[in-house]
Structures are given as C-alpha cells and as structure tokens.
C-alpha cells in the first residue's frame, strides 16, 4: 500500500490567524499562564495536586485503601509536575549551544521523525506523533539533540497542536538567528480516538513555514524529504 504523504493533511499556520474552527479558538501563541504560575515550588504543587486528585478518585467511588490505588494520587501529581507538564516551567527550557558553520554548509538541514508526546488542553488526554524540523544556517548550527529537546520542552504542556507547531518554529528562529525555519507535525489525538467521535484512524497535520520555506520550491523540497522513506 502506498504511504499517504504527510503534506496532504497539512494546513500551514499563519500566526496572524486567531480562529481555525469552532473547537480551536486561539488568542495567543504563548501558553496561557497566570502571573503567579510559579509562586509554588514543584514539591508544593505535587502536594496540592495529590490532595485534589485523591478527592477526584474518591468522588468516582474508587477504594483508595486498595494497594493498587493508594499511591495513585501521588504518582499522578508527580507525573503532572515533573514529567508530562514540565515544559510549563521556564527553568526547564533547553539551553541550546550553537557552533560555527565551519563547513560553509548552505543547504537545507532536516531532522525528521522526532517522536513527541503532549496532552490536549481541552481534555488532558495524550497527543502523540512525529515532528519534522528544517532550517538554513545563518552562520551557526545547532546540536541535533537540542532540536529534539526543544520539541519535547514545548510538547510537555497542555497544548493544541497549532500552538505547539508555532512555538517550536518561533523558538528555533530565535535561537538560530534566522527566519528560515520549517516545522511539520503529524499527530494522533486521543481526544478524537478514545472519546467523542471515537475515530482511531485520523491524524492531524500542521506546519510552520518561515523565510525561504514560504517559497514553494523549498517547501516542496522539505515535504518531499520527510515523505521519502
């Protein structure tokens, strides 16, 4: 069976757009956070979330004296703060070291199939898939593992895929000092698959094209590369 090209499902993102459809109304490309978001320490947040999640489980009628369930509130709280939503805290932002482009490499650099896991901010269920990133050097290059870390940092938040795509693109533009950045993301949404319509086959594609990647020639080269096995 011929592989379905990612480009068929992609809607390029215009950062000036405020509304995509009835379910995805976006007012800012920054993650919405209160000014006092980091007054509490991580450990204090774990303690409070544990208490509240225990109450949720009790309301659901679960017996928390059972050995299997007793530690769940703490595990969930720790997971939220220190793992799956750790990208909310700016102290966890990757520090990207740049290197001189000594080889004078002036072509597109692509890192594809970066696995990411995130969570839908509407239902707090997983979003997971692949990110593909490309850029043209402005005289500096970034260590490849740092691209993965940047993707993971922004993914580890309650997200919508449109915002996540733009955040990764804008961060790479800032770090690399160039507008010539492209990002394509192809993801499964468990809020679609495990609830609501229950569609387990559909995927969502989003793209960020900056600088040269707004030109059809470079955009097509990027998309052809990531669709090539």
The answer to whether residue 123 is catalytic is yes
Report how far apart, in Å, the C-alpha atoms of 134 and of each of 1, 99, 115, 186 are.
28, 17, 15, 15
Of the residues 5, 74, 123, 179, only one is catalytic, namely: 123
Active-site residue flag, 120: yes
Residue 166 phi/psi, 5-degree rounding, is -70, -40
3 is known as an active-site residue: no
Of 161, 162, 173, 180, which one is the catalytic site residue? 161
159 is catalytic: no
Cβ atoms 161, 187 nearer than 8 A: yes
Give the active site residue among 5, 47, 121, 179.
121
Tell me whether residue 132 is one of the annotated catalytic residues: no
Query: Among the options 119, 132, 180, 189, which is catalytic?
Result: 189
- Residue of 52, 55, 58, 122 marked active site: 122
**Catalytic-role residue among 119, 120, 167, 173:** 120
Burial of 167 (0-12, 13-18, 19+ CB in 10 A): buried
Handedness of CA 86, 88, 90, 95 (dihedral sign): positive
Q: Choosing from 119, 162, 173, 191, which is the catalytic residue?
A: 191
- SS3 call for 45: helix
The reply to whether 173 belongs to the active site is no
Is residue 121 part of the annotated active site? The answer reads yes
Enumerate the active-site residues.
120-123, 161, 189, 191
């Amino acid at each position: 069976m011929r592989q379905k090209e990612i480009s068929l499902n992609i809607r390029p993102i215009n950062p000036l757009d405020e509304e995509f459809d009835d379910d995805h109304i976006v007012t800012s490309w920054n993650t919405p956070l209160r000014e006092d978001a980091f007054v509490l320490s991580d450990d204090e947040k774990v303690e409070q979330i544990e208490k509240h999640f225990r109450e949720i489980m009790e309301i659901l009628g679960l017996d928390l004296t059972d050995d299997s369930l007793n530690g769940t509130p703490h595990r969930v709280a720790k997971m939220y703060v220190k793992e799956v939503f750790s990208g909310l805290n700016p102290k966890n932002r990757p520090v990207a070291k740049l290197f001189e482009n000594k080889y004078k490499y002036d072509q597109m650099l692509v890192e594809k199939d970066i696995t990411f896991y995130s969570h839908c901010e509407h239902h707090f269920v997983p979003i997971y898939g692949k990110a593909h990133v490309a850029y043209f050097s402005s005289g500096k290059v970034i260590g490849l593992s740092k691209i993965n870390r940047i993707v993971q940092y922004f993914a580890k938040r309650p997200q919508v895929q449109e915002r996540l795509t733009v955040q990764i693109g804008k961060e790479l533009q800032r770090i690399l000092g160039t507008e010539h950045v492209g990002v394509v993301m192809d993801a499964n949404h468990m809020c679609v698959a495990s609830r609501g319509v229950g569609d387990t086959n559909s995927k969502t594609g989003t793209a960020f094209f900056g600088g040269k990647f707004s030109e059809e020639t470079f955009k097509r080269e990027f998309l052809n590369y990531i669709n090539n096995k």
